A and B are shown apart, each in its own frame.
Chain A
Amino acid sequence: MQKRFVSIWFRHLLADWFTLRRPELKTVPFIIVEPSGGRILVVAANYLAEKQGITAGMAAADAKAIVPSLKVIDHLPGQNAKLLKALGEWCIRYTPLVAIDLPDGLILDVSGCPHLWGGERAYLGNIIRVLRSKGYDARGAMADTAGAAWAVARFAKKDPIVEPGKQTEALLTLPPAALRLDDIVIERLTKLGFYSIQGFMGIGRSVLRRRFGPELLLRLNQALGMEDEHLELLEPVIPYHERLPCLEPIRTVTGIEIAIRQLLELLCHRLQKDGMGLRTAILKCYRVDGQVLQVSIGTGLPSHYTNHLFKLFELKIPTIEPGLGIELFTLDAPKVEEVEPGQEALWGGNECSLEDNRLAELLDKLSNKIGAAAIKRYLPQEHHWPERSIKIATSLTEKPTTVWRTAQPRPSLILPRPEPIEVMVKTPDYPPKFFIYKGQKHNVIKSDGPERIEHEWWIEEGEHRDYYYVEDNQGQRYWLFRLGHYDNDKNRQWFLHGFFA
């Protein structure tokens, strides 16, 4: 289904609320203040105060200096969230999927809703009109992604409805701040002259990542719809829920197994029909004595195969203590995703690839027993420092964004922490004549290097390393380095960092 999102921005959320409670404030410029770091800062100002140049973040004293008649109201911490929650709950009449977007907005997943209200324009118009009539200065926009809707609601001057698939065009002319970025990143972008998203959209992704960090790419991809965004819904929807009441309380492992199988079959049948697969499932066992036991499983790729899911639950059965008996089982699938219909390989034989379901099922099984954190896959990262040259892949199908570098040899085994060694060096800036590691003396016969690897000063300070690839008289190959420059005054420490094949 075509995804559509609405972002609503309450321009004067707090001020509007205070005005609603105290109608006499309607004609008075006022500010809402909060003490912060020894000063009193403006948290929000109403329209009348803003018109005279008072903005959030100003010191209250400065604001008072501009408008002496300004009324000052104390801020109630957490008020934003409370107000948005109430407004969000009210919005559930338009769509069940409502998320709070702090500090001053709501995001609605309206996929499949607008036609019930006579089209997108009428739908959005209705929401905004009703919110305004309630006294809130709201602006809204609709787009294919939450990010684009957010940007258009706050920054666009024209049409609040972005046609399906047109979010790129809509974003081009907007300033970088429309991407929900950190102030620091926005400042850096503006300093470099990027006043609109158009300016940097075409730049290579790896360059952007290096300069501005991964957040910028994430936000850009989210806004363009290339990466999914997870919304924290106000009322989580659990459409996939199955119940199995038992005539007699169940106390045996076989009974529990049968119950799980039945529940899974019911659930998987529905999932299969909808083309969905579950990512997490929670089994609750209601015992006769009133206790509720709970076990959950997770999968790496969405799945609706009863057998596979049952195997995952099978590992958890020993943790279920039936006690006097279980009278009710329920199975919830709080997280489901669309399943890509599997394509049978025409040729290529029996080889497994990273996209293979069999592999995903194996990894699910492993991670449910020993923990998902123990399973890792690595991708190259553009850093010279060896410890930082790899990163952990976030998913099974994530592909490297840069190539594995093979210009310089790298050891097969690496020590998690370089170990200090004793060396004898005859000539400065040459590899050692011999070194002693764990009480064993190794005479260096051949060597390559030095390969100087600088500390990446934009990440952390420190001395560079001069690496040597050395071979001892038995043919064993090591990776050694000296920390810092040669210096007559200082005795430089040498380290062993790895073992070559």
Chain B
Amino acid sequence: MLPRFYQMQATKQDTINKLRKDILLLEGFKPALADGAGSLGLGCIEAAFPNGVFPVGAIHEMLCPTPEHLAACTGFMAGTLSALASKGGVCLWINRYQRLFPPSLSFFNMPPHHFIFVDVKQEKDALWVMEEALKCEGLTAVIAELQTITFAQSRRLQLAVERSKVTGFILHNDPQKARASTCVARWQVTQLESEIEEGLPGVWFPRWQVELLKVRNGKPGSWAVSWDGSGFTILEEGAKIIQLPQRKAG
């Protein structure tokens, strides 16, 4: 039997937990469904979010300063989307600087012909297109490459998704300029060396260090994740980039 003091602590903690849950519901975070529907197969990464559910109908920020980062981000995002979207889901991709190569999406189980690409010349057009698209109910995701976004702009986008429940991704190509925003999470995906069995040649499945730098009402974290062609595998939590001894090529 616990001392009385601890008992009291426990009930207080329960009350606080319950209140917190209520607040989350009011903020639009739904509790996990019993049958695991809506799960991304990301295990402990999803656990970092309130209620343990990857927030859809919200804006995610991804920091990708270099083309390498962007490529890694694209892979991770496409994998996530393939779990989010049912068959036939449509995504809108707003092109600003880099060119995505559509066939690569099929490696992450997303049919490339379900992506609509919009080429824009100016930042303000990209924002306008993004806001309009986020208002379109039923789109799986809207992805835009932006240099920077102000708090007011992010608030507008947030208002758009609150009604339509579309998921938005902002790819920041200049993280120095990433400011405070209403976005639900801020991610960074960095490539990791692929792991292959000793003695085998070639490049293996992609591996990334997925960092959740900021998450509203959740716990930030860092994970090594690999994609095996059909789903994600979480390799280590909080792992650092391991420098493997250099091997001779070929």
Q: Is A500 an interface residue when CB atoms closer than 8 A count as contact? A: yes
Contacting pair B71 A416 (CB below 8 A): no
Interface string of A381-417 (1 = CB under 8 A from B): 0000010011001000001100011100111111110
Q: Any chain A CB within 8 A of the CB of B116? A: yes
| A470-B119 contact in complex given A412-B74, A412-B100, A443-B246, C-beta closer than 8 Å | no
Q: How far is the CA of A369 from the CA of B118 in the complex (A)?
A: 12
Tally of A-B residue pairs with Cβ under 8 A?
A: 197
Which chain B positions have C-beta within 8 A of A2?
A: none
- In the assembled complex, the Cα of A500 lies from the Cα of B72 at a distance in Å of 7
Give B157-203 interface residues, CB cut-off 8 Å to A: 165, 190-194, 196, 201-203
CB-based contact B86/A349 at 8 Å: yes
Chain A, 228-252, CB within 8 A of any chain B CB: none
Q: Whole-angstrom distance from the CB of B56 to the nearest CB of chain A?
A: 11
Q: Which of A365, A369, A448, A476 contacts B68 (CB 8 A)?
A: A476
Does chain A have a CB within 8 A of B70?
Answer: yes
Contact status of A359 and B136, CB under 8 A, knowing A351-B85, A374-B119, A430-B250: yes
- Taking A404-B112, A446-B249, A470-B203 as contacts, is the C-beta distance between A410 and B101 under 8 angstroms? yes
Answer whether A445 and B101 are a contact pair too, CB < 8 Å, given A351-B86, A413-B67, A499-B70: no
The CA-CA distance from A361 to B136 in the complex, in Å, is 9
A61 within 8 A of B: no
B112-126: which residues lie under 8 A (CB-CB) from chain A? Answer: 112-120, 125
Q: Which one, B68, B71, B103, contacts A390 given CB within 8 A?
A: B103
Residue of B nearest to A378 (CB): B102
In contact, A445 and B136 (Cβ under 8 angstroms):
no
| A501 and B206 contacting across the interface, CB-CB below 8 Å | yes
**Could you tell me which residues of chain B, from 51 to 78, have a CB within 8 Å of some CB in chain A?**
67-68, 70-72, 74-76, 78
**Interface residues of B, count at CB 8 A:** 67
Indicate if the CB atoms of B101 and A474 lie closer than 8 Å: no
Of the residues B78, B128, B191, B250, contact of A477 by C-beta under 8 Å: B191
* Contact status of A501 and B118, CB under 8 A, knowing A362-B132, A475-B192, A475-B207: no
Q: Is A185 an interface residue (CB 8 A)?
A: no
Q: Which residue of B lies closest to A415 (CB)?
A: B99
Q: How far is the CA of A421 from the CA of B55 in the complex (A)?
A: 42
Note all chain B residues with C-beta closer than 8 A to A501.
Answer: 71-72, 74-76, 78, 104, 107-108, 191, 206, 208, 227
Does chain B have a CB within 8 A of A459? no
Within 8 Å of chain B (Cβ to Cβ): is A358?
Answer: yes
Q: Does B48 contact A (CB under 8 A)?
A: no
B247, CB-defined interface residue at 8 Å: yes
Q: Once the chains bind, are A406 and B106 in contact (CB under 8 Å)?
A: yes
Q: Are A358 and B137 in contact (CB under 8 A)?
A: yes
Number of interface residues of A (CB under 8 A): 63
Q: Given A378-B117, A412-B71, A414-B99, are A475 and B165 also a contact pair (CB < 8 Å)?
A: no
Query: In whole angstroms, how far apart are the Cα atoms of A183 and B68 in the complex?
Result: 50
- CB-nearest residue of chain A relative to B72? A501
Shortest A440–chain B CB gap in Å is 10
Least Cβ distance of A452 to chain B in Å? Answer: 16
Contact yes or no, A413 B90, CB < 8 A: no
For residue A350, CB closer than 8 A to chain B, the reply is yes
Interface contact B137-A446, CB-CB below 8 Å: no
B140 at interface, CB cutoff 8 A: yes
The answer to whether the Cβ of B221 comes within 8 Å of any Cβ in the partner chain is no
A221 within 8 A of B: no
Q: In this assembly, does B44 line the interface, its C-beta being within 8 Å of a C-beta of chain A?
A: no
Contact between chains at B113 and A378 (CB < 8 Å): yes
Q: Once the chains bind, are A444 and B249 in contact (CB under 8 Å)?
A: yes
Complex partner residue of A404 from B106, B117, B119, CB under 8 angstroms:
B106
> Is A433's CB under 8 angstroms from B249's CB?
yes
- Nearest-neighbor residue (CB-CB) of B101 within chain A: A414
Contacts of A474 in B (CB 8 A): 191, 193, 241
Check: B129 CB closer than 8 A to any chain A CB.
yes
A380 to B202, CA, bound (A): 27
Contact A359 B138 (CB under 8 A): yes
- Is residue A204 contacting chain B, with contact meaning CB distance below 8 A? no
> Is there a chain A Cβ closer than 8 Å to B213's Cβ?
no
- Contact mask A339-370 → B, CB, 8 Å, 1/0? 00000000011111110101101110110011
Point out the residue from A348, A363, A498, A500 that lies within 8 Å of B116, measured CB to CB: A363
Q: Does A377 contact B (CB under 8 A)?
A: yes
* Contact A352 to B99, CB < 8 A, known contacts A376-B116, A379-B113, A501-B206: no
Smallest beta-carbon distance B182→chain A, Å:
23
Q: Does B231 contact A (CB under 8 A)?
A: no
Given the contacts A377-B117, A445-B247, A500-B206, A366 and B103 also touching, CB distance less than 8 Å? no
The verdict on B133 contacting chain A, using a C-beta distance below 8 Å, is: yes
Q: Are A358 and B67 in contact (CB under 8 A)?
A: no
Q: Which of A377, A393, A477, A498 contacts B203 (CB 8 A)?
A: A477
Measured in the bound complex, the distance between the Cα atoms of B227 and A329 in whole Å is 59
For residue B218, CB closer than 8 A to chain A, the reply is: no
Write out, one digit per residue, whether chain B residues 70-99 have a CB within 8 A of any chain A CB (1) or not (0).
111011101000000110111000000011
**Top 9 A-B residue pairs of the complex, sorted by shortest distance between their CB atoms:** A501-B75, A352-B138, A499-B71, A414-B101, A475-B193, A404-B106, A362-B136, A412-B74, A412-B71
Task: Known pairs A350-B165, A446-B194; list 20 more (Cβ under 8 Å).
Answer: A349-B86, A359-B139, A362-B133, A366-B133, A374-B120, A377-B113, A378-B102, A386-B101, A399-B113, A404-B112, A413-B67, A413-B101, A445-B246, A446-B203, A475-B193, A475-B207, A475-B241, A476-B68, A476-B191, A477-B206
Seen from chain A, the residues whose Cβ lies within 8 Å of a Cβ on chain B are 348-354, 356, 358-359, 361-363, 365-366, 369-370, 374-380, 386, 389-390, 393, 399-400, 404-406, 409-416, 427, 430-431, 433, 443-448, 469-471, 473-477, 498-501
- 11 A-B residue pairs with Cβ-Cβ distance under 8 Å, sorted by A, are A354-B90, A365-B132, A369-B128, A375-B117, A376-B119, A378-B115, A390-B102, A400-B113, A445-B247, A475-B241, A500-B75
